[in-house]
Structure formats: C-alpha cells, structure tokens
A and B are shown apart, each in its own frame.
Chain A
C-alpha cells in the first residue's frame, strides 16, 4: 500500500505530467506520419530519456507508443496510408468508411476502442504479468510455426470477394519476402548483386506503395472520379460511441484479450494482433458481407487488439527481459540504464517505480481521448482540400516516409515499383492487403519452419509433438480442411437419403 502511495506521488509530479503531455503530442505526430513507426518514436526518445529520472523516462515511452499506435489510424483512414504497420489490417475498411462520408465515425471508433483495448491490456499487465509471462515463455519455433500458419489463413478472410484472388495476393507477398540475406541459411537470394536488396525488401515502403501510391495512380488515371463525400455537419467524434460499445461489447472484449495474448508472445506484436483480430471479427460476425464496404465492426476489434498488444508486450519484457515486440526491445535497455533491471525481482526491488509505470499506462490510455480528439479535428480538414492539391501532398509524404525508414533513396524506388504493382493488382480485382500480410509473415514462416526441422532432425511430426504446438496444429488443419470435409460428407449423405 505504501508502495502504491509512493507511486502516485512519483507520477503526480508536475515534471512527470509535463513529460507525459509532451510525449503524447510527439507520439501522435510520429504515428500519423507515414514511415515513422511507434518503434522509431521510442528509439528517438532514448537519448532524451538518458537525462531523466526512471519514472518520467519510462512514462515518456509508454505514452508516446500508445499514442503512435492509435494515430497511425488517422492517415490510413483519411488518405489510405497506414501511419504504422499496426493499422494496415483495417486501412481499407476505414478508408471505405471515409469515402462513404463516415470518417468521423471510423476515427472515433479507432480512438475510443484503442483506448479501451489499451486499458484492458494494462489491467492484465498489472494483475497477471508473472503468470502470463510463464505461459509466453513456453512458445518455441514449433508453436510459432502454427501461429504464423493461422495468421496466413487470415488472408482468405480479410480479402473481399474471390478467395482465390486473395491467395494469389498472399503468395505474391510471400515470394517478395524471399529476397535478401536474412534467411535461416544466411545465403543471399534473388539479390542480383545489389547491396540494397541484400537487406531484403523493406516492409514500410512496400506498404506505402501498395496502399497510397496505387491510390494516387488511380486518381491520376481518372481524375474525374467522385471526390470524397465530406459531411458538412460535422458531429462530435464521440457521438454514437456509447451505442457502439454496447453493440460491439463482445468484439471489444475478444479483440482486447487476443491483442494482449499475442502482444505477450515474444515473437508477435501489434501488427500481427491487428490482422488476426480483423480476420476473426469477420469470421465470427453476424454480417460478414458488410466487411470491406465501410463497416466499423472490424475496426473496433482490431483497433482494440493492436493497442492491447502494446501493453501486453511489456509482460515478458518486465518479467524476463524478453522483448514482446521491437518497442520493448528498446525499453529493456532503458530499464537497465535506469536501474530497474527486468526480472521477477523488479516487482520487489523497484515496487514504487513499477507501480508508477503501471499508473502511467492508465493515464496514457485515458489521455488518448482528448489528445486524439484534437488530432482528428485537425487532420480531418485535409478532406476538404481539392484533390488536385491533396494528391501531390500525399505523394510527398509517401516519399518522405519511404526514405525515412532506412534513409535511402532505394526505399523510394521500392515504393514506386510496388505502387504500380498495387495499382495493377487492384484494377484486376486482386486485393493488396493479403500481399502485405504475406510480406509481414513470410520471413517468420520460413524461420520457424527451418528452425523446427533442424531441432527435430527433419522429422515433420516434430511439429505436433509438443502439447501446445499439437493443439495449434490441429486447429489450423481443421480451419483449412473443415469446409472441404463438410462438403464431402454432405455429398455422401445426399444420395443415401
């Protein structure tokens, strides 16, 4: 109890509150700029936190990342450039809502359910961190292999229309992920002697190209196309959110739980959580036909999931010093620097500081509401701009974002190439989202499979030998073959009756 009181004292210091407010604004900005990720926000903060006390240092990172993951939704929704990879799963859905004139509602849902998901993840972090971390630590490459397979299965669900076209797109993404040196054998593949390609096709420029540049090309090809429908009577962002919370309470809970669990797994973070949550939402929805046409249900579930994952990632990081994602990988370094060495002992040795960090988690997620509201108000104005002015500006941001991720012009080239690829795909009815998913998961699929095979000396049944892996494997195979099985059984039964 004393520790908790001390913790409140530590957080309610004016300096700490000022740091939190400053990092909130910083996080919102970084997240909303395409190409700048939540991970980069953290890396940029590290030299600054170097000169701070432990609590404000950690508070700065917690706040900035929570804000960045939410604000990544803003450009995704308004101009179809996901600000961070964690928003890519539902960018098309949110953009479809914007085109229907429901930008307010899409962003409002993203904001409110991001905050709720984040709070849920924080509660789990406070109450169950040590127990959950033990479970997360049981995951080896065998378990991750099946998890990735389940993730890839999402491609079929997230693609609107023909599943075959979704698979074509997925395999294109998987093929692109083969390029480079970062494969289990450490052997250069498909690099054509280029040093840049040795570093593999980076994900951010590809994503920007496929989503945003393809959209610009489409506009340039037919500039007369219908402009955005902007509601003149701009209501409150929060209008209707109460009703949504009731309607989608199950989706909110499901997304939050899934996000926290995936975040707690050391091999998967907010982006994978968002993809799986979106697919699950569609699969279990009562009205799956509305998905992809501008329907908030999937945004609720995956918006909650990616913010819950940000909190969940701290679980293995605090308990065992094993990063749950790329953000906490940096955080662990800062924790050491501040004398809050991660490990079970941190709960005893640094109890007041740790409780203070937990309190900051709640403050950050609550503060997201007013800060996010202001950001949406400001950002929304861009929809009023004439498209002939807006499109070149978007292109400018695309170029800056593609350049910024690695500070190389090669990224800009990649962006242009994949912009054309994305345009050609979409004009032939092939969705781009599964390709992005394939690119995200391709390397992980190969790594986990090859590792598992080395460990089991090439025995394929090794993938089923461990209890968790066996269960995940059975579930995956069931999802793949159940429709086929049911159909075959029906066909057998039909002549009999």
Chain B
C-alpha cells in the first residue's frame, strides 16, 4: 500500500512536471496583447490571426488591447510577461521609435520575434480639390511658403510624421517647413484635411482607402520601391522625384525575450500556415494591407536595419532626444 501510493505520487509528480514543461504547449488559453485600440489596423489583423491560430493550436487565443502611452504600455506588457508562450503580442514599428525619443528603454531586442507579417508603405494624400496635381507641385508649394501647409495623420513624432519629415529632408527642404498637427490617427487626420484644417496627410494607402474611393482625397505618391497593386496609377517617390526615400509601418507577432524553443517550433509553422491561408490573404487583400513575411535571422536583420534607419532620420529631423 505504502509503496503503491508512493508510486502513484511519483507518477503524479512526473505528470505535473511533464505538463509544466512547454513540450505540450499549449495546454491552456493564450493571451495576445495588442498595444493599440480596438478597431485600428493592428487590432484587426491581430484578431484575424488570433481566431485562425485558435483553430491551428486547439486552444483559445484571447486578444487583449493594452492601449495608451502611444504604444508604450502595451509593448511593455508583452516584454515583461513571463516567457512561457502563453503571452504573445503584436509588435509594431513604434518599438524602434519610442526609445530614440526617450519614452522607454525597450527595443526590439527585448522580444523574441516570431514573424513579421505585414508592411504598409507611407503615401502622400491631399484633398481632392487641392491645386497640387503631383508631388512636385506639393514640394514646390512647401518650399515657396515654409510653414503654410500643415500635415497630420498621427501623433507628434509618429511614423507618418517621420515619413514626411524624411521626404522633405531628402528633397533639400527643412522638415519644419510643413508643421505637424498631431491627431489621434490617420482617419481623423484625413477628415480634418477634407474639412480644410490641414493640407497633407502622409498615411498609408489602406488607411486612406475609403476617402480615395469616395473621391474626397488624392494620393500623389507612395514611399515604396514598387506601386500598390490596388492603386497602380499612384507613382512611387523614386519614379516621381528620383528620391530614394522610403518609409513603411510594419507589424510582427512576438513573444517576450527568451521564448522556449518548444514554443517557437510549434508557433512558427502554425503562423506560416495561417499566413498562406486563403482566409488570411482574402482579409489582407480586402482591407488593402500589404502582406509580408520574414522569420528567424531574416526578421532580426530586418528589425536591426529598421531600428538604425529610423534612429538616423529621427536624429536628422530633430525628433530624437
């Protein structure tokens, strides 16, 4: 009896130990932290990935919005979570910007990148009734009257602010010649432009899509190496002015630093399968999001390059501390 109960105890302990290792991951629901609000692009893609991941892994994936602090709060929540595979998150381009502004000490090195799944290049939008027919017209107008044309589309020092500042600098114009009006996001910036409050909104094409289709705004240029297939008439900046300047927002699935190999070995193939699935592709195409894929060393190289490039521009235009 005694020996048998001892055996049972040992077996039980072994089972607990087994369940405790990540080998059987996932054995309970997974939390997916989104550093931005419900309804935005990051939230939308996270929820689609979450519901597809649920089917792949057989465990519920709860998408949780940890908003505020221009992304600092949510990114911190992911980085400081226990690296057991039960807290994952979506990391966005801002992780490579916030630390240059002195808002946080976190960089992309505080995370385990699984895969970068989306890239949206910046565009340059003006109101449909504006006199600027090409990016050259707009740049000339900014150069002729510094400070007169105002731009908007995200918070102070945000990704689209950086996009236009870098473009102006590359064209030999003072980045301060188009003062930035902070806004809650691209949608409110576009609305303000149509209402006549600002003149330029350098946001991504998917964000401006409804207004483009409604004929309320015009897209002059896209800051990317190639044209957007949905809007093939919009030239790239290189084609229009010869400038090599590009800027894009990206999104990645990550975990806290030190995610065990057992977790990544199971998570990466699942994500890869989702990324290739018809549901995901249809969703991204319908919303106009750019599909992209980078994993492992390639992802790390991408992040390091993005970090250096953003830091250089932020210092050059005077946003970095």
Contacts and interface: CB of A to CB of B under 8 A. Distances in A.
Given A43-B38, A267-B188, A336-B287, A455 B210 contact: no
A142 B286 contact: no
Contacts of B215: 344
Contact of B150 (A198, A323, A454): A454
A266 B213 contact: no
B37 interface: yes
Contacts of B287: 333, 336-337
A329 B70 contact: no
A448 B75 CA distance: 28
Given A43-B38, A46-B47, A326-B37, A406 B66 contact: yes
Nearest to A342: B210
A316 B188 CA distance: 12
B204 to A, nearest CB: 14
A455 B183 CA distance: 12
Nearest to B43: A43
A185 B67 contact: no
A195 to B, nearest CB: 5
Contacts of A202: 68
B136 to A, nearest CB: 25
Q: How large is the interface on B (under 10, 10 to 19, 20 to 34, 35 or more residues)?
A: 35 or more
A266 B191 contact: yes
B103 interface: yes
A198 B214 contact: no
Interface string B1-45: 000000000000000000000000000000000000111100110
Interface stretch (B108-116, B193-201, B267-275, B300-308): B193-201
A341 B182 contact: no
Contacts of A329: 38-40, 187
Given A43-B43, A320-B214, A341-B210, A180 B38 contact: no
B195 A333 contact: no
Contacts of B40: 329
Contact of A195 (B72, B191, B194): B72
B210 A333 contact: no
Given A138-B195, A199-B73, A333-B44, A321 B182 contact: no
A200 interface: yes
Interface in A181-204: 181-182, 184-186, 188, 195-196, 198-200, 202
Contacts of A185: 156, 182
B192 A141 contact: yes
B196 A47 contact: no
Nearest to B156: A186
A266 B183 CA distance: 13
B209 A321 contact: yes
Contacts of A330: 38-39, 43
A339 interface: yes
Interface in A314-331: 316, 319-323, 326, 329-330
Of A46, A143, A319, A408, the most chain B CB neighbours within 10 A belong to: A46
Contacts of A188: 69, 103
A341 B213 contact: yes
A181 B190 contact: no
A343 interface: yes
Nearest to A198: B69
A137 interface: yes
Contacts of A451: 152, 181-183, 192, 197
A406 B67 contact: yes
A345 B216 CA distance: 13
Contacts of A426: none
Nearest to A137: B194
Contacts of B82: none
B214 A321 contact: yes
B196 A140 contact: yes
Contact of A181 (B68, B180, B213, B216): B68
Nearest to B147: A457
A199 B72 contact: yes
Nearest to B33: A407
A407 B179 CA distance: 37
Nearest to A405: B65
A39 interface: yes
Contacts of B37: 326
A186 B66 contact: no
B255 interface: no
B213 A40 contact: no
Interface string B163-198: 000000000000000011111100110111011111
Contacts of B196: 138, 140, 466
A343 B214 contact: yes
A60 to B, nearest CB: 15
Nearest to B199: A455
A343 B150 contact: no
Contacts of A316: 191
Contact of B210 (A139, A326, A332, A408): A332
B283 interface: yes
B107 interface: no
A195 B73 contact: yes
Interface in A327-365: 329-330, 332-333, 336-337, 339, 341-345
B209 A195 contact: no
B47 A199 contact: no
Nearest to B41: A333
A50 interface: yes
A72 B126 CA distance: 41
Contacts of B43: 43, 330
B155 interface: yes
B72 A320 contact: no
A43 B39 contact: yes
B66 A322 contact: no
Interface string A421-464: 00000000000000000000000000100110011010000000
B126 to A, nearest CB: 16
B235 interface: no
B181 A322 contact: no
B153 interface: no
Nearest to B102: A188
Contacts of B214: 319-321, 343-345
B76 interface: yes
A320 B192 contact: no
Given A43-B43, A343-B213, A322 B68 contact: no
Interface string A398-425: 0000000011100000000000000000
Contacts of B47: 43, 46-47
Contacts of B68: 180-182, 198-200, 202, 406
A454 B210 contact: no
B59 interface: no
Given A181-B103, A195-B76, A336-B286, 9 more contacts: A141-B181, A186-B158, A198-B72, A199-B66, A202-B68, A341-B210, A343-B213, A344-B215, A455-B150
19 contacts: A43-B43, A50-B48, A186-B158, A196-B73, A198-B72, A198-B73, A198-B103, A266-B187, A326-B39, A329-B40, A341-B213, A343-B210, A343-B214, A344-B214, A447-B183, A451-B152, A451-B183, A454-B181, A455-B150
Instruction: Give the top 3 A-B pairs by smallest Cβ distance, nearest first.
Output: A321-B210, A199-B68, A140-B197
